[in-house]
Amino acid sequence: MKYEDQKISEVVLALLGVFEFENGRVWKRIEFSVMDELFEKGYITDPKGKSESVYLTEEGLQLAKELAKKHFSAQE
């Protein structure tokens, strides 16, 4: 699957706008409450701890791929 970089950049920028605080400041990582919600829904492993990453569950991986295709797929 090939994705359109422009679409991805726009969505990332939109997410940064959602989580903006202090007049334009944003965190480099995904908001903790969002990660907690994805964990509660069973899409990712527990985000709490020292690890810099999480794993997608089978259900989370399937949904993530479907959403990536829906929102970012390039015309071939």
- Three-state DSSP at 66 gives helix
* pLDDT tens digits, 56-76: 999 999 999 999 999 999 876
Average pLDDT over residues 10-15: 94
Q: How far apart, in whole angstroms, are the C-alpha atoms of residue 61 and residue 63?
A: 5
When pLDDT is cut at 50, 70 and 90, the band that residue 1 belongs to is confident
| Predicted pLDDT of residue 38 | 97
Q: How far apart, in whole angstroms, are the C-alpha atoms of residue 73 and residue 67?
A: 9
For 68, residues 6+ apart whose C-beta sits below 8 A from its C-beta are 1, 3
Q: How far apart, in whole angstroms, are the C-alpha atoms of residue 19 and residue 41?
A: 21
> Given a cut of 70, is residue 6 above it in pLDDT?
yes
Token pair in block for residue 18: 């959602």
What is this structure's pTM?
A: 0.83
φ, ψ (nearest 5 deg) of residue 32: -55, -40
| Predicted pLDDT of residue 75 | 73
